[in-house]
Amino acid sequence: MSANKKLKEHLSSDEAPLTISSTDGLVKKSRTQLPTDLIVEILSRLPAKSVAKSRCVANNWNSLLRDPFFTDVFLKRSSARPRLLLTFQAEGTWYFFSSPGHNMNSNRVVVVDSHMNVPKPLPFRVCVPVRGLLCTRDEWALGHSKERMMICNLGSRQFKYLPRVRSRRCHVVTYLGYDPIGKEYKVLCMTVLEKPFSGKAGEFQVLTLGTSKLEWRMLECSVDHYPYPREICIEGTLYYFSRDYESRDYMLVCFNVKEEKFNFIRNQHFVFPTLTLINYKGKLGGMCFQPTTFMDGTAESLELWVIDDIEKHIWSRHVHIFPPMWKELVAETKVYIVGMINGTTEVVFAPAILSNPFYLFYLDIERKSTNRVEIQGLGPVNGQSIYTFVNHVENVNLIM
């Protein structure tokens, strides 16, 4: 079925076909009808900011750009051109910037695009973005503050506070996941006792975005564990690191977003929390420096772990030696592994603290090539914690 026919199933008769009014500067006006297929083809290639402005052209344009068929087409095109996302907090405001994700051997300087700014007075951390959405990582002193967890969609320029978590505990840990079958975003949270520190999470709860009434639902989890802020969502499964409360072993938690059930993967051959989880050619993978999370130009190698059989918990280990240029490019800059750009073998490294100048570093593990890119346009800031993410996509779906 053509795009035109699919869209007409959603648009009312008085809204289709789409029209454009024009004038020659005098009194005479004309109305030109454009095929819906052509409109979709044109608008789905625009930046999200331009799509948002196009909603104001006319009611029928607004209906088209809110239609699920169009938003799916836009998201598919956006996923084919993933971007880097940089976000930080300064002077009570949450700032967002992005740039093209693929910069290897092309640019030495990149000026980022500025997006929406959100008021956020208290410090916080950020979950890994999922299909264009971001969520604040956790809230401290939950019972003693008016602050609540927040969801942001840069593509539709929306932000929304989530309902307060039902708990008397002080610390709430949060993850964001997506169910591709039900096409639903879900926020998973758990609470942790800080005084006295218990070393385990409890009160597991989940919230589904896009519903008429947002509310937390309690979940059961059979294994007591302490969660770490390292996660990735792949094909409806949210993976994050944790530590078994009883055995003290490190584990990988697998949360089925659709079924809302937990599973656990254990491995004794490496320390899980030092890994940055990645999507490696469709498989779950992890990258790390041994034995620390941060490193500089003195590092000689990078470890890649790939899970070859997720049912049997079989992992394979690959060691990648840094090329000679790496030491000169990075020098004494302390960086961590951000992730791998989808569809490539390019790994992105970034500092955790803003500086001037601010650099990102690229390594192609197959070509053995490196690049350093200076990021400009972040503003006159210095010393703030900055979060860098790969594979960010623009999503214009108004789901909140």
The tens digit of pLDDT for each residue in 197-209 reads 667 788 899 999 9
Is residue 16 within 8 Å of residue 60, measured between CB atoms? yes
% of the chain residues with pLDDT over 70: 83
398, amino acid identity? L
Q: What is the structure's pLDDT at 14?
A: 42
Q: How far apart are CA 220 and CA 202, in angstroms?
A: 9
What confidence tens digit (pLDDT) does each residue in 240-261 have? 988 888 888 888 999 999 999 9
- Of 38, 36, 54, 57, the C-alpha closest to 46 is 54
Query: Cα(52)–Cα(310) distance, rounded to whole angstroms?
Result: 41
The token pair at 130 is 């999922």
pTM: 0.86
The reported pLDDT for the residue numbered 4 is 52
- Residue 27 confidence (pLDDT) above 50: no
pLDDT surpasses 70 at 30: no
Averaging pLDDT over each range in 104-118, 181-195, 277-291, 317-331, which range is the top one?
A: 317-331
pLDDT at 243: 85
Mean pLDDT of 340-351: 92
pLDDT of residue 196: 61
What are the pLDDT digits (tens) for 168-227? Answer: 666 788 999 999 999 999 999 988 876 666 677 888 999 999 888 899 999 999 988 888
What domains sit in the chain, N to C, each tagged with a CATH number?
3-76 (no CATH), 81-392 (2.120.10.30)
Q: Are 159 and 116 in contact (CB under 8 A)?
A: yes
Q: Which residue has the higher pLDDT, 290 or 116?
A: 116
Stated length of the chain:
400
The yes-or-no verdict on residue 22 having pLDDT over 70 is no
pLDDT at 167 over 80: no
Q: CB neighbours (10 Å) of residue 332?
A: 7
Q: What one-character-per-residue DSSP string does 183-213 give?
A: TEEEEEEEEEEETTEEEEEEEEEEEETTSSS
CB 192 within 8 A of CB 200: yes
Q: What is the pLDDT of residues 257-294, one digit of tens each?
A: 999 999 998 865 555 667 899 999 888 999 988 667 78
Task: Inform me whether the pLDDT recorded for 306 exceeds 60.
Answer: yes
CA-CA distances (angstroms) from residue 20 to 4, 31, 60?
17, 6, 10
- Mean pLDDT, all residues of the chain: 83
pLDDT of residue 88: 93
Among candidate residues 387, 369, 370, 367, the one with its CA nearest the CA of residue 378: 387
Cβ partners under 8 Å of residue 298, min gap 6: 327
**Eight-state DSSP code of residue 367:** T
- What is the Cα–Cα distance from 266 to 276, expressed in whole angstroms? 16
CB 336 within 8 A of CB 349: yes
Question: Contact 187/151 with Cβ under 8 angstroms?
Answer: yes
